Amino acid sequence: MGRLIIVSNRVAPISEGGPAAGGLAVGVYDVLKETGGMWFGWSGDVLDTPPDAMKLEEHGPVTFATICLLKRDYDQYYRGFSNATLWPAFHYRPDLIEFDRHEYEGYCRVNRWLAERLAPLLKPEDVIWGTTIT
- HEC assignment per residue over 45-65: EEECCCCCCCEEEEECCEEEE
Q: Average pLDDT of the chain? A: 88
Compute the distance between CA of residue 126 and CA of residue 4 in angstroms, rounded to an integer: 6
Q: Which residues pair with 10 in a beta bridge?
A: 42
pLDDT tens sequence across 15-68 = 655 544 566 677 778 888 888 999 999 999 999 998 878 999 998 999 999 999
Residue % of the chain over a pLDDT of 70: 88
CA dihedral of 106, 111, 116, 122, whole degrees rounded to 10: 170
Task: Kindly report the CATH number assigned to the domain that includes residue 72.
Answer: 3.40.50.2000
Identify the pLDDT of residue 51: 82
Structural domains of the chain, count: 1
Q: What is the pTM of this model?
A: 0.84
Stated length of the chain? 134
pLDDT for 64 equals: 93
- What is the span of the domain harbouring residue 26? 4-131
**pLDDT bracket for residue 134 (50, 70, 90):** very low
**pLDDT at position 1:** 72
Distance CA 43, CA 18 (A): 18
29, 14 Cβ separation under 8 angstroms: yes
Rounded to a whole number of angstroms, the distance between the first and last alpha carbons of the chain is: 29
Q: What is the tens place of the pLDDT at every residue in 110-122?
A: 999 999 999 999 9
Cβ count within 10 A of residue 55: 14
CA dist list (Å): 64 to 7, 49, 133: 10, 22, 15
Q: Which pLDDT score, from 0 to 100, does residue 132 have? A: 55
Of 4-13, 37-46, 119-128, the poorest mean pLDDT is in 4-13
